[in-house]
Amino acid sequence: MDPRGSRSPVLHCSAHQYTRVWIPDPDEVWRSAELTKDYKEGDKSLQLRLEDETIREYPIDVQSNQLPFLRNPDILVGENDLTALSYLHEPAVLHNLKVRFLESNHIYTYCGIVLVAINPYEQLPIYGQDVIYAYSGQNMGDMDPHIFAVAEEAYKQMARDEKNQSIIVSGESGAGKTVSAKYAMRYFATVGGSASDTNIEEKVLASSPIMEAIGNAKTTRNDNSSRFGKYIQIGFDKRYHIIGASMRTYLLEKSRVVFQADDERNYHIFYQLCAAASLPEFKELALTCAEDFFYASQGGDTSIEGVDDAEDFEKTRQAFTLLGVRESHQISIFKIIASILHLGNVEIQAERDGDSSSISVSCTPAPEIKHTQFTWFLQFYTTGNVSFHLEDTHRLFILTRNGFSSVADNFVQE
């Protein structure tokens, strides 16, 4: 009997002709193949036919006896939960996700209680209010996999078990963490909207345009890359209506303020402010276009295709106003941001007098200003100013966490 059992994901020590396997491929990562001859333990190679009918001899390393992964029966492929597959390994996961995405346009698949999402890079009609209501009150298993189903499950368990719940959103840069977290927040704002007219859920959602303006930037991997990690707490009252939110941030990439790599940009707010430079209320900031500022132009292109910085600036200002940040406070924030841009254009020269004395001007503290401002701002809008006290009985946490590569990027750049 095979010691690995009948559900072993790799080829057994003997296998019949027509058994289907996955073999590694330098271009396609994994390729499907079929045995053209029976295999028994000790054979030095497998005789395979690839899907394009090519015949290939697949050598087996006798030392490691590494045999290929078995392919699932076609009837299982396309399942909305990966745990339903007979064989669960990398090629099976990738193939199942690919089939669901390419053949049915499904971007979501479960793996038990984990939701796997593929970034479609196009707006799908699956996030409307009607879809939120369709998921509200439903069981996870009764509906198609969706971020709203995960949010509903957390909401339901909070209500049923009276326990705080957490949703962790993880993935590499550009995977869709920020977008997913925003959809989850929208779900809570809709199903947990307060009956009163305090607009508290609108205030919770208004945090996104502001945090993205001051904490997101265009990178080579993502036009709207979050250059910090965040931990959002949403508080609910006894009737499960939102009563407040708070956010903690981690590891803001400060170095970006003074340096941007090719094809990257500084934080969006700098470009938004430049795009609004001609407005009468910003005349005294003496700003011009972003190309004129060293701290905004090192990456080359100062614009992002499909993004209107002036329009986004309006959204940022509206969000500030909604959160209760007074006009005068907003102007103070914009003054600090404008001052960073001006500081970047100051040229600093070391002077040498003979061979003994030298005078140097110390470097501008722009990254520190930005960081202090970021932290101050967070404290401002998550405290009393907008009644965001967390006197709640229940909380939901959303933690967005970058994959290793982004963390490593941040680490290197810090």
Q: Which residues are annotated as a binding site for ATP?
A: 171-178
With CB under 6 A as the contact rule, which of the stretches 34-42, 170-178, 236-244, 323-331 interacts with ligand ATP?
Answer: 170-178
Interface with Mg ion (CB under 5 A), residue from 19, 96, 178, 219: 178
CB of 120 to ligand ATP, least distance (A): 5
Closest by Cα among 37, 33, 1, 30 to 16:
37
Closest by Cα among 41, 43, 24 to 32:
24
With CB under 6 A as the contact rule, which of the stretches 90-98, 169-177, 267-275, 372-380 interacts with ligand ATP?
Answer: 169-177
Distances (CA, A) of 217 to 120, 222, 275, 378, 409: 21, 8, 16, 18, 14
Alpha helices in 118-199 (DSSP H): 129-135, 147-161, 177-191
Instruction: Tell which positions 93-132 bind ligand ATP, by CB under 6 A.
Output: 119-124
With CB under 6 A as the contact rule, which of the stretches 47-55, 219-227, 286-294, 300-308 interacts with ligand ATP?
Answer: 219-227
CB of 229 to ligand ATP, least distance (A): 9
Closest by Cα among 383, 278, 267, 246 to 336:
267
Cβ within 8 Å of residue 386, ≥6 positions away: 203, 323, 324
Partner from Mg ion, ligand ATP, none binding residue 96, C-beta < 5-8 Å depending on class: none
Q: What is the largest CA-CA distance in the chain?
A: 88
Which C-beta is closer to Mg ion: that of 156 or that of 227? 227
Closest by Cα among 275, 334, 283, 286 to 310:
275
Which C-beta is closer to ligand ATP: that of 110 or that of 282? 110
Which C-beta is closer to ligand ATP: that of 253 or that of 392? 253
> How do beta strands 165-171 and 29-35 pair?
unpaired
Cβ within 8 Å of residue 58, ≥6 positions away: 23, 33, 45, 46, 47, 48, 68
Cβ within 8 Å of residue 30, ≥6 positions away: 22, 23, 24, 90, 91, 94, 95
Which C-beta is closer to Mg ion: that of 178 or that of 316? 178
With CB under 6 A as the contact rule, which of the stretches 63-71, 167-175, 184-192, 344-352 interacts with ligand ATP?
Answer: 167-175
Asked if 209 and 160 count as a contact pair (C-beta separation under 8 A), the reply is no
Instruction: Tell which positions 27-66 bind ligand ATP, by CB under 6 A.
Output: none
- Which neighbouring-strand residues pair with 229? 250
Instruction: Tell which positions 171-190 bind ligand ATP, by CB under 6 A.
Output: 171, 173-179
CB of 19 to ligand ATP, least distance (A): 38
Which C-beta is closer to Mg ion: that of 72 or that of 410? 410
With CB under 6 A as the contact rule, which of the stretches 198-206, 223-231, 323-331, 337-345 interacts with ligand ATP?
Answer: 223-231
Partner from ligand ATP, Mg ion, none binding residue 364, C-beta < 5-8 Å depending on class: none
Asked if 246 and 233 count as a contact pair (C-beta separation under 8 A), the reply is yes
Partner from ligand ATP, Mg ion, none binding residue 404, C-beta < 5-8 Å depending on class: none
Residue appearing with tokens 């209680």:
113
Which C-beta is closer to ligand ATP: that of 72 or that of 225? 225
Give yes or no for residue 78 binding ligand ATP (CB under 6 A).
no
Partner from ligand ATP, Mg ion, none binding residue 85, C-beta < 5-8 Å depending on class: none
Element (H, E) at 62: none
Give yes or no for residue 207 binding Mg ion (CB under 5 A).
no
Which C-beta is closer to ligand ATP: that of 72 or that of 109? 109
Residues in the chain: 414
CA gap 23, 91 in Å, rounded: 9
Which C-beta is closer to ligand ATP: that of 96 or that of 178? 178
CB of 201 to Mg ion, least distance (A): 22
Give yes or no for residue 180 binding Mg ion (CB under 5 A).
no
For Mg ion, the binding residues (CB under 5 A) are 177-178, 226
What is the contact surface with ligand ATP in residues (CB under 6 A)?
Answer: 119-124, 171, 173-179, 222, 224-226, 402, 406
